[in-house]
Structure 1
Amino acid sequence: MTSTLYRNGLVHSSADPFAEALLVDDGVVAWIGAEDTAAGLAARADRVIDLDGALVAPGFVDAHVHTLETGLALESVDLSPAGARTRAAALDAVAAGARRLDAADPDGDEVLLAFGWDETAWPERTPLTREDLDAAAGGRPVYAAHADMHHAVVSTALAASAGLDRLPGWSAAGLVIGEALRVARDVAQELPPARRVRAYRVALQRAAELGIVSVHEMSAAHTDTREGLRELVALSEQEPLPQVVAYRGELVESPDDVRELLAQLPFLAGIGGDVNVDGSIAARTAALRQPYTDHRPLPGSALTGDHGDGLAYLSAEEIGAHLAACSAVGVQGGFHVVGDRAMDLLVLGLEIAASEDRGGHGPGPLRAARHRVEHALFVDASALASLLLYGVSLSIQPAWASTWGGVDGLWAQRLGVARAGNMSPFADLAGAGIPLAFGSDAPVTALDPWQAIRAAVSHEDAEQRLSGRAAFRAHTRGGWRLAGLDGTGAGELTVGAPAHLAVWRADSYGVLSSGRGLTSWSAEARAGQPVLPDLHLDAREPECLQTVRAGVPIYDTFA
């Protein structure tokens, strides 16, 4: 290992909020201090980087990523509102993608992958159909995933080859959820090994370019294979890429199930993530206490038991058994929970896992296992009390609120303005002491940590806004904490801590000087707090100059 001295800049460190320089030696932070002292250390460093006023800060942790699908989405036809502002533009993009693929695959067998459509963002507000895809792609098999990844539209050719019309979750318009979605996705992601590895690498390289030093991979049978997870973890250790903290979303019933999975995947941080209690708001499959305002029958409603209030994929008993099994072995468990009815089921599951009458061992083992929940859009006072009692942490995605929130957003269309206004209570969660980590759920929302932080500090409800510092810590130290790796000092720039860091150039730096919202951004108002780039929504996006994992650059514009 070598040593690197960063000087003539700003250092985000609680240990020394006014530091201007930092020395990294053998992968750890060896010194933090003033510029005048740095001058005497330059001769001993193997590399000296003049920051020219830039900021050195802890690297980001994205606490919820689907790496394979993110890599594929980055190379798929872009149907997102940013790439296709109208329904017609989306179909034009499909047609252009089909022409490009025709040139490379004249036999027409390869599936055209498209990603990110959201009809609520189009003026027409009309979903795509298989007939649309057939016409645009000239009969080629097409898999067009919605932005939420919980439903998709497929072409006739793909539906026929996979026998989707015989499966629950199929609709004649080509919309698929549930079992039909799983099978369609499996067909679409039948890729040569080299293509899969390329997708992993593309996603992780993009993360590194954005100052992300670690990702929590939420692998599951419906997103990737066990072997794929092994390949991904190995890739992140063999190449200069962000660290992969691996989770596997498989429901277990007994401690033996847990041990079998850990024997197969000994590097797992936990058995959770995409163990889905319910679905998504966009697909109307999130399990709600009250029906959707804009209820429409789900595909295959006769088979799914659709009553207009979404779908619960797991019972409280199944949730309790999973948590009890994980607790017995001392491994972290967890679930995907979106709707308020799904949160009710989780709370019941926690109580079952703790109840000695139901085979549990009390709240102690549950707390010791540090279970986690993904998303958690609805957390009322009762749920909050249970999460605190049982020591549950939350992995949340603030960019969901900035993407789908607001009085005209998707959530308001699905749920009504009143219900949508009670979602994502960031400040309540943080104020109660619930451990929080931020993530993107990429590719559902883009890998973009600053977007998440801005969403958290500019929540539509001013009472639910976080401070810039609290939001930043949730996206840095919070990720290490949820994975049980905070004991290493990761997530802080202090002497002896691993050098997981990023260097940022911004127009201005400072702290929030007053109030809960973005009322003032001032370098003079630091009051001993570490600085951050300006987080106002109209401020220029900070530019990542370098990302370093354990002292090794994984993205470097200084080279």
Structure 2
Amino acid sequence: MGMTDASVREAGRSVLYRGGRFYCPAEPTATAMLVRDGLIAWLGVDADAPAADAVVDLGGALVTPAFVDAHVHVTDTGLVLSGLDLSGVRSPGELLAAVAGFAAGLPADAVVIGHGWDESTWSDQVPPGPAELDRAAAGRRVYLSQASVHSALCSSALLAAAPAVRTTEGFDGSGWVREAAHHVVRELALGSVSVAQRAAVQRAALGHAASLGVAAVHECGGPGTSSEADFVGLLGLSGAGLPEVYGYWGELMGVARARELGAVAAGGDLYADGALGSRTAHVSQAYLDGDRGCGAGFVSVDQVRDHLVECVGSGLQGGFHAIGDEAIATVLSGFGAAAREVGLARLRAGRHRIEHAELADKAMIGRFVEFGIVASMQPAFDRLWGGAGRMYEQRLGLARSLDSNPFGAMHGVGVALAFGSDSPVTPVDPWGSVRAAVSHFNPVHRMSVRAAFAAHSRGGWRALPPEVGRVMDGVLALGAPATFAVWDVATEVVGGMPVLVAEDPDLRGPADPTPLPVCRRTVSRGQVIFDRE
């Protein structure tokens, strides 16, 4: 593919992409597209293509709308990409060895920050304790977030640096801390990252997303998740040769603060509960493993109501993180109370969101429809932890596991879906997420490739607040923003979409060998933000 257009962006200059295959239902025979002033100015066949200032020969590549990742944590993602990734460790010993190897290259006063361990994949599921981490890190402070990022292992040195943590809810002498105690040690650990380091890892994470065909992300920040400085600094990188960043600030009754920080919404990771991996998601039936009971709920119905009413009154989108069925029920009851106060039509107009919504049953899904709630969901959760023998079955039992992450059921009744990764909880992997939605362990919850792709592209734009005005994004159409990705595809293309699953049903699932498309170029509003050549 000729890359002669990389600097073509001046007003009136144009770029013709030709010789490709375009996922464009309105122009299904299109093989060429003209981009001018950041917009799609023409679509059609090569023979009819107009003249342009620069021409890109696609060589048969597939062109689709770019992806949107509707739930990410950019700084954490960058720290994992450049630091201690523990997602591959399969025993306490492997974890300690990884910590020791990483720590050996750090200054003596550094904090060892790692992420991604998942004890549900270990035969011995008892993580190392604080003293073991002290020895592995040669006395350095250690913070290792569990895969869910809702709990962490801490060394004695880190706990000693935060003495208040021992009297904070969620503290445990094993060094595996949760809830408010986790927020205390997390703030301390991430506070050790300098401003320059933070900007570098943010750029690295956004650049990585662009290399995967992602043109926009929804950053979910807030107290206990990220600092205000982290959030504001990240928003400052939006669109500067990188994917656009839309900020969600999750602070209860924090509408004014969200606006001050430049957020587009007072929602995202506004926690109604924790996570299944840390046994802190609020569920109606007790966890089958561990001693965490039914987890924990962090908001009341009245608090949900008051937050939503404040959002409606201020014209700002709201929303909550809710994973367990009890937490989702609480949030939905709060929506009902808010509707009674401000009116159903006004509430629906805000297109408020619930993040994750993993254990929503049919009645709850009906209320998503009633209140016009957007479900921001992560298909990779099912791929990694659903099905027999995996973490959800350990926590919930197989029946509840198979009922989790009901993408197909939601889509089937018209719930607006926006897919994302929750990176670094799962990696940014948009085509992998589309395949995960197509291959859900429960056939009832599967989606078509086209529907799953729409949830991970146009769905992310439509999940933004109405006033942001992105209704034209996410499609290849005349007059739409020229935000797209170019793909090398090693499989057949059917109906404009690549084949993502094996023909043999026995090969489908998390280990499906079917090659996924590889991104060649990502363009945001006419600007090239990733180019593989």
TM-score band, normalised by the shorter chain? Answer: over 0.9
Q: After TM superposition, give the deviation of residue 46 of structure 1 in Å.
A: 2.7
Partner of 2:523: 548
SS at match of 1:236: coil
**How far 1:351 moved relative to its partner?**
1.4
Quote the residue 2:508 is aligned against: none
Which amino acid is the alignment partner of residue 273 of structure 1?
G
Q: CA 1:50–1:534 in 2, change beyond 3 Å: closer, same or farther? A: farther
Deviations 1:187-208 (A, max 9, x none): 1111221111112111101110
Looking at structure 2, the residues matched to 417 and 30 of structure 1 have their Cα atoms a distance apart, in angstroms, of: 51
Instruction: Select between 198-207 and 485-494 the one with higher mean Cα deviation.
Output: 485-494
Q: Conserved in 2, the CA contact under 8 Å of 1:131 and 1:173?
A: no
Kindly indicate whether residue 442 of structure 2 is the aligned counterpart of residue 461 of structure 1.
Answer: yes
- Aligned residues of 2:462 and 2:471 also touching (Cα < 8 A): no
Contact 2:258 2:264 in 1 (8 A): no
Q: How many Å separate the matches in 1 of 2:297 and 2:311?
A: 21
User: In the aligned structure 2, how far is the partner of 1:349 from the partner of 1:52?
Assistant: 53
**4+ residue runs over 3 A deviation:** 484-488, 533-536
What does residue 12 of structure 1 align with? 23
List per-residue Cα deviations over 1:3-28 (Å, max 9, x = no partner): 22111110111111221111111111
Q: How far is 1:127 from its partner? A: 2.1
1:375 alignment partner, one of 344, 356, 366:
356
Q: Which residue of 1 aligns with 2:39?
A: 28
Q: Are residue 313 (structure 1) and residue 298 (structure 2) matched?
A: yes
2:139 aligned residue = 139
The superposition leaves residues 302-326 of structure 1 with CA deviations (integer Å, 9 ceiling, x where unpaired) of xxxxxx0110011111111111110
Amino acid paired to 1:80? S
Q: How many equivalent residue pairs?
A: 509
Deviation at 1:389, TM superposition (A): 1.3
The answer to whether the aligner puts 1:112 opposite 2:112 as a matched pair is yes
Which residue number in structure 1 is paired with residue 424 of structure 2? 443
State the partner residue of 1:523: none
Letter in 2 for 1:182: H
Partner of 1:167: 168
Q: Using a 3 Å threshold, how does the CA distance of structure 1 residues 167 and 240 change in structure 2: closer, same or farther?
A: same
* Corresponding residue for residue 476 of structure 1: 457
Report if the CA contact (8 A) 1:242-1:554 is conserved: yes
Q: How many angstroms apart in 1 are the aligned matches of 2:83 and 2:258?
A: 33
Query: Using the alignment, how far apart are the partners of 2:222 and 2:470 within structure 1?
Result: 28
Matched with 2:75 is 68
- 8 A contact 2:249–2:258 mirrored in 1: no
- What root-mean-square deviation, in Å, do the aligned CA atoms of Structure 1 and Structure 2 show? 1.4
Q: Under a length normalisation based on structure 1, what TM-score does the superposition of the two structures give?
A: 0.89
Please report how far the alpha carbon of residue 235 of structure 1 lies from its aligned counterpart in structure 2 after TM superposition. Answer: 1.4
Moved more, 336-345 or 530-539: 530-539
Q: Which residue of 2 aligns with 1:423?
A: 404
Q: Tell me the equivalent position of 1:50.
A: 57
- Structure 2: how far apart are the matches of 1:288 and 1:467? 29
**Quick one: distance in 2 between partners of 1:79 and 1:487?**
37
Paired residues of 2:286 and 2:294 also in contact (CA < 8 A): yes
Q: After superposition, what is the alpha-carbon deviation per residue over 1:321-360, rounded to whole angstroms, capped at 9, x for unaligned?
A: 11111012221100000000111101210111122xxxx1
Contact 1:64 1:215 (8 Å CA) reproduced: yes
Structure 2 CA distance for aligned equivalents of residues 175 and 531 of structure 1: 44
In the TM superposition, residue 510 of structure 1 has moved relative to its aligned partner by 2.2
Structure 1 residues 343 and 417, CA gap change in structure 2 (3 angstroms): same
The residue aligned with 1:300 is: none
The structure-2 alpha-carbon separation of the partners of 1:486 and 1:404, relative to structure 1 and needing over 3 Å to count, comes to farther
1:502 aligns with 2:485: yes
Corresponding residue for residue 520 of structure 1: none
Q: Which amino acid aligns with 1:226?
A: E
State the Cα distance separating 1:489 from its structure 2 match.
1.1
Indicate if the aligned counterparts of 1:118 and 1:127 stay in contact, CA closer than 8 A: no
Q: How much has 1:223 moved relative to structure 2?
A: 2.1
| Equivalence for 2:497 | 531
State the alpha-carbon separation in 1 of the partners of residues 499 and 246 from structure 2.
27
**How far apart are residue 180 of structure 1 and its match?**
1.3
CA distance in 2, matches of 1:262, 1:195: 25
**1:387 offset after TM fit, Å?**
1.4
Q: Does structure 1 residue 85 correspond to structure 2 residue 103?
A: no
Tell me the amino acid that sits aligned with residue 15 of structure 1.
A
8 A Cα contact 1:16 1:32, kept in partner: yes
Matched, 1:37 2:48: yes
Q: Does the 8 A contact of 2:449 with 2:497 survive in 1?
A: no
TM-score w.r.t. the length of structure 2 is 0.93
Q: Say whether the 8 Å CA contact 2:483–2:525 is kept in structure 1.
A: yes
- How far apart, in 1, do the equivalents of 2:291 and 2:376 lie? 30
Match of 2:4 in 1: none
Rate the CA distance shift 1:441–1:95 in 2: closer, same or farther, 3 A.
Answer: same
1:510-529 correspondence runs (5 A): 510-511=493-494, 526=495
Segments of 5+ residues of structure 2 without an aligned counterpart are: 1-8, 503-511
Counterpart contact for 1:152–1:176, Cα < 8 Å: yes
1:95 to 93, 100, 106: 100
1:296 pairs with one of 287, 291, 296: 291
- The answer for the alignment partner of 1:337 in structure 2 is 322
1:146 & 1:117 partners in 2: Cα distance? 5
The whole-number CA distance in structure 1 between the counterparts of 2:133 and 2:290 is 25
CA distance in 2, matches of 1:486, 1:467: 27
Q: The residue matched to 1:100 in structure 2 has which SS? A: coil
Residue matched to 1:264: 260
Query: Which amino acid in the other structure matches residue 136 of structure 1?
Result: A
* Cα deviation code 1:500-539 (max 9, x no counterpart): 110110112323xxxxxxxxxxxxxx3xxx3335344321
Q: Deviations over 1:463-499 (max 9, x none)?
A: 2110000000000000000103565410000011001
1:531 maps to a residue whose letter is: M
Letter in 1 for 2:72: V
CA distance 1:66–1:262, shift in 2 (3 Å): closer
In structure 1, what residue type is equivalent to 2:498? L
1:422 deviation in Å? 1.0
CA displacement 1:409-442 (0-9 Å, x = unmatched): 1000001111111111111100110100000001
1:392 pairs with one of 367, 373, 386 = 373
Between the aligned partners of 1:327 and 1:557, the Cα distance in structure 2 is 44
- Deviation of residue 541 (structure 1)? 2.4
Distance in 1 (alpha carbons) for counterparts of 2:110 and 2:28: 54
Q: Secondary structure at the match of 2:342?
A: coil
Which residue of 2 is the match for residue 227 of structure 1? 229
The residue type paired with residue 282 of structure 1 is G
CA displacement 1:179-234 (0-9 Å, x = unmatched): 21111111111122111111211110111011000000101122222232222111
Q: Is the 8 A contact 1:73 1:114 kept in 2?
A: yes
Secondary structure in structure 2 of the residue aligned to 1:18 = coil
